[in-house]
A and B are shown apart, each in its own frame.
Chain A
Amino acid sequence: MKSKAFTDDQNMQPLIRVENLSKLHERRSLAGAREEVRALDGVSFGILPGSTLAVVGESGSGKSTLASCLACLEFPTAGNIWFDGTDVAAVRESLRRQVRPQIQLIFQDPASSLNPGWRTLEILLEPVILQGKFNLKEMRRRAASLLERVGLSSEIMNRPPAELSGGQRQRLAIARALTLEPKLLILDEALSALDCSVQAQIANLLLELQDSLGITCLFISHDLAMAAHLADEIAVMHRGRIVEQGPADRILKHPEHETTRQLLAAVPKITSGEQGAPEK
């Protein structure tokens, strides 16, 4: 299972391959002068089917821009995104529409990514309804099995998200992402807003889902420890570029780039004995 992503294995084609991806954001300053911000700068990687790539970096390093380009929500300025054999960065909107259901996003804050006025059932079924695949009976059954899959009881079917806990809401967001049976799941800081004990529960759920469904994941985070725990491979981003990439184990134990070392140093550690005692 380990290090499947980005190997020289000839038999296995990556599910998604990104080549030289760049994204420029243009903004005008108050004086009217044009300013260019390079959110992504020549990013390349591939993720093999069934494996997880973690992208780590500080705020503003381009992680979320990468996510929205891959999810076909934004067009990159330059570069290719090969998904299942099609370059989704170059094709017409109608074709991108066909690709989108296969790539699902899960966001940081489940409280704001779920419609507060809807019940669980409606939230779960919206993707199916939008795709026009209608059959109410079949859909209810599907919703119940999805809830079970993510460890929720079907009793919550008629409750609004406000009546669910943070962990339950994130499970629901995952269930909604799975409704259309996507091939790629993009998790954009999906654990960061949760309590430590809930993070562990959701992390385990992701590992379980990956084992049972063979789903491919892109895990975006600033938490290097969690990234290393979930991913086969880690890519470290800094100012729109990937500055270091390799097997999770290697990155953690022998970081080469300065940014990686800084991220590692910033992971708070629980130490024992007197060295943990604060200086007086």
Chain B
Amino acid sequence: MAYILEVQDLHVAYRSREGAVHTALTDVSFGLMPGEIIGILGESGSGKSTLAGSLVRLLPGNATIVRGGVHFEGKDLLRAKPEELQQIRGCRISLIFQEPSLALHPTMRAGEQVRQVLAAHNSRGKTALLERTLEVFAEVFPQEADRIVRSFPHQLSGGQRQRVLIAQAIACGPSIVIADEPTASLDPSTQMEILEVFRKLRRKMGLAMIFITHNPALLSGFADRVLVLYGGRVVELGRAPDVLASPRHPYTKALLASIPTVLDETESAPRKKLPVISGESSSLPLEGCVFEPRCSERMDICTEREPARLNVSEIHTVACFKYEK
């Protein structure tokens, strides 16, 4: 099957006010299948939000896309004209951000906020637009769509506001939704509800998703594949059950080990030290593997050059010298 979106060799850097250049993404490549959910796992500073922004060229002014390509429907989005991008953003590819209270207009009713998205991309008449707005709301609010259409953001709960953002994102029937930490500010049970909404939309609309998160547990049972970012590089990419249950890269292993579990029926876990990754992710080495200074399995070669991405199975790649033959 052909990829619906293909990212090739993406390299993004930021310029600081003093003129120094900081690399945010290095050689990021992956493909997204139609209807697939790919989970991008990374911690603060790993470049995950930069990745989300560069796919549709929504980056801060001091960011430059150094090289690479993002291919969508036969076009390279990184080289597309602004007018072409306008038609793709919000319509064919839409974005959902983390903070629903900041992303919504505070004094505009929820229905109007979704209607405007539709109006921006459609030349349909007034009644047709309203009808479609109600349809979209019914999609994400099975129960009280009528009330929510007329509500202001402050009258809605965090979960409901996030659903309004989802309604905006799916209004024009996109083929890809990019969600940047869409559940981070929500309660665990509301998080599960929102994931359920995404699952339903994928089933009904065949939506492909790029789901960005720092919480690996959210991806389990939700994402098809998981891409692990560290220091702006893809360190591991594979099927979600493989990456999450038997991670290969030392970083993924250590990250998953540091999360307390409630699964152990036999063991009594409380008050034991959690295994941690020593050090901070903010200072990256200039040469060699980016994870080397914090890695517990480092070897001599790790400081000399950067590891290439190696296949440990047909669909599972890892950037680590351990797997070199």
Q: Which of A166, A198, A232, A275 is within 8 Å of B270, CB to CB? A: A232
A residues 33-82 touching B (CB-CB < 8 Å): 58-59
- In the complex the two chains form, is A196's CB within 8 Å of B255's CB? yes
Give B283's nearest chain A residue, CB to CB.
Answer: A165
What distance in Å separates the Cβ of A239 from its nearest Cβ neighbour in chain B?
14
Interface 1/0s, chain A 214-249, versus B by CB < 8 A? Answer: 000000001111101111100000000000000011
- Given A195-B43, A197-B255, check contact A270 B271 (CB 8 Å): no
Q: Is A141 part of the contact surface with B, judged by Cβ < 8 Å?
A: no
What distance in Å separates the Cβ of A42 from its nearest Cβ neighbour in chain B?
24
Interface 1/0s, chain B 182-217, versus A by CB < 8 A? Answer: 000001110110000001000100000000001111
**Complex alpha-carbon distance, A263 and B190, angstroms:** 11
**Complex alpha-carbon distance, A58 and B275, angstroms:** 28
Of the stretches A92-100, A130-138, A179-187, A201-209, the one at the interface is: A201-209
Q: How many B residues, CB 8 Å from partner?
A: 51
Main secondary structure of the interface of B (DSSP, over half): loop
Note all chain A residues with C-beta closer than 8 A to B215.
196, 268
A residues 142-174 touching B (CB-CB < 8 Å): 165-168
Note all chain A residues with C-beta closer than 8 A to B263.
269
Interface 1/0s, chain A 248-280, versus B by CB < 8 A? Answer: 110011000000001111111111111111110
Interface 1/0s, chain B 210-244, versus A by CB < 8 A? Answer: 00001111101111100000000000000111001
- In the complex the two chains form, is A272's CB within 8 Å of B187's CB? no
Q: Is A129 part of the contact surface with B, judged by Cβ < 8 Å?
A: no
- In the complex the two chains form, is B43's CB within 8 Å of A198's CB? yes
- In the complex the two chains form, is B277's CB within 8 Å of A197's CB? yes
Q: Is A2 part of the contact surface with B, judged by Cβ < 8 Å?
A: yes
- Given A225-B261, A276-B244, check contact A270 B188 (CB 8 Å): no
**Complex alpha-carbon distance, A253 and B271, angstroms:** 16
Note all chain B residues with C-beta closer than 8 A to A225.
259-262
**Complex alpha-carbon distance, A59 and B158, angstroms:** 10
Note all chain B residues with C-beta closer than 8 A to A275.
221
- Given A196-B214, A197-B254, A266-B187, check contact A230 B270 (CB 8 Å): yes
- In the complex the two chains form, is B276's CB within 8 Å of A2's CB? no
Q: Is A13 part of the contact surface with B, judged by Cβ < 8 Å?
A: no
- In the complex, 14 of the A-B residue pairs with CB atoms within 8 angstroms, ordered by the A residue number, are A58-B189, A196-B43, A198-B43, A204-B276, A207-B271, A225-B259, A225-B260, A229-B260, A268-B218, A269-B261, A270-B216, A270-B256, A273-B241, A276-B244
> Chain B residues in contact with chain A, CB under 8 A?
37, 43-45, 158, 187-189, 191-192, 199, 203, 214-218, 220-224, 239-241, 244-246, 254-256, 258-263, 265, 268-277, 280-282
